[in-house]
Amino acid sequence: MNSKLLVFDLDDTLLLTSGVIKKDYSNLEQIKLFPGVKEFLINNHSQKILVTKGDKTIQEKKVNILGIKNYFEKIFFPLTDAHKINCFKKIIKQYPNNESWVIGNKITSEICYGNQLGLKTVLLRKGKYKTLKAKDDSEVPDYEIDKFTELSNILKCKQ
């Protein structure tokens, strides 16, 4: 059986950032993972990669504050959407024997790229993009969940 490779988004996927983090980042130290995330990262033994778009300094700081760095084989900080797609392509090349999944909150970003590249996609409906409607099939995830804690069951039932 191929082992799974899980590619995670960060903002609004592992923690709520929409409407939480102030524009001047003065409350960054107070960010908290969604319930169940830490337990999942500890107990799920699939290979995990984090891909989080944005200012590397800030994104890295979030990762450090959350204390999740060591749960990921690799962490990518793409600056743009184009860079993000390239990260996904690089990951697929580096792990050709894995069944790759992407877990994120944004249908126009990681879900769309995951679908395009043949990954299984899981949409977590959280944050400011949770009401976005798919413009076509390229933005429709394979699975949709409302809580992070539902992820384990989805990964279990699909081999």
Residues that bind Mg ion (CB under 5 A): 9, 11-12, 105
Task: Give the H or E element holding residue 95.
Answer: none
Q: Rounded to an integer, what distance in angstroms lies between the CA atom of residue 125 and that of residue 63?
A: 21
Closer residue to Mg ion, CB minimum distance, 107 or 155: 107
In whole angstroms, the minimum distance from the beta carbon of 118 to Mg ion comes to 21
Q: Rounded to an integer, what distance in angstroms lies between the CA atom of residue 39 and that of residue 87?
A: 26
Q: Rounded to an integer, what distance in angstroms lies between the CA atom of residue 67 and that of residue 70?
A: 8
Q: Which residue has the tokens 């001047």?
A: 24
Residue nearest to Mg ion (CB): 11
Closer residue to Mg ion, CB minimum distance, 12 or 139: 12
In whole angstroms, the minimum distance from the beta carbon of 35 to Mg ion comes to 17
Q: Rounded to an integer, what distance in angstroms lies between the CA atom of residue 1 and that of residue 113?
A: 25
Closer residue to Mg ion, CB minimum distance, 48 or 93: 48
Q: Which residue has the tokens 């929409």?
A: 18
In whole angstroms, the minimum distance from the beta carbon of 112 to Mg ion comes to 13
Contact criterion met (CB below 8 Å) for 131 and 150: no
In whole angstroms, the minimum distance from the beta carbon of 97 to Mg ion comes to 27
Closer residue to Mg ion, CB minimum distance, 11 or 139: 11
